[in-house]
Amino acid sequence: MKIILLGAPGAGKGTQAQFISEHLNIPQISTGDMLRAAVANKSDLGLKAKDLMEKGELVPDDLILDLVKDRINEDDCLNGFLFDGFPRTLDQAAALKDRGVEIDCVIEIMVSDEEIIQRMSGRRVHSASGRTYHILHNPPKIENIDDVTGEALIQRPDDNEETVKKRLAIYHEQTYPLVDFYKDLSNEKGSTSYIEINGVGGIDNIQSQIIDNIEKLK
């Protein structure tokens, strides 16, 4: 099965992407991983991408799409693949369609901005161990103190409320329009299915929703 996973930063895409990949035995593909692999393998596309990145320039969509087509033609994609974080823009989505890359379903993990801000801005971390707490859902025994070492907890810069709001604003401007693009596509006969998943609640419940909807498509 060929799947695109959509959702705002902090919606839980990473957790669900890994689950879907393992459940369906298909590779999880991100543009970052593809670029790193192409550069490491010194392929023609990888060398072009490396040259651009070393100059501090953005890798253009055409090059990204060439990398995507190469990647999904590899043997481990015979049974499908999961795009995680791609496409990010309407131009990328349209180009993917124009190049004949068929997608079986798009899964959107739906979580409100308010919930995401609460989730991310409430996280606290013990730097040395990576232990993670949440001031509401999983608080330490003593406020801002690690339960094990008694050392201070920190808030990562990415979890700062203003930073989270900026990331959400970029998502709504650049990536959220893909929701309408793929919903419209799903209305075309024999085309891509669109699945909406409520991303609030226990992980097991969210994964059950995903499995139930995927099984209906088989």
Q: Give the per-residue pLDDT at 146.
A: 97
Digit-coded pLDDT (tens) for 42-92:
888 889 888 988 887 878 889 999 989 989 999 999 999 999 889 989 999
Average pLDDT of 211-215? Answer: 94
- The total of structural domains in the chain comes to 1
Specify if 73 maps to a domain: no
Percent of the chain past pLDDT 90, that is, above it, reads 70
Specify if 60 maps to a domain: no
Specify if 42 maps to a domain: no
CATH number of the domain within which 178 lies: 3.40.50.300
Pairing outcome for strands 105-110 and 123-125: unpaired
Specify if 160 maps to a domain: yes
Q: Above 90 in pLDDT, residue 144? A: yes
Torsion sign over Cα 197, 201, 207, 208: negative
Specify if 59 maps to a domain: no
Specify if 55 maps to a domain: no
Instruction: Give the catalytic positions in this structure.
Output: 13, 88, 123, 156, 167
Torsion sign over Cα 118, 123, 203, 90: positive
Torsion sign over Cα 109, 111, 113, 117: negative
Which structural domain, as residue segments, surrounds residue 174?
2-26+79-217
Specify if 158 maps to a domain: yes
pTM recorded for the entire structure: 0.85
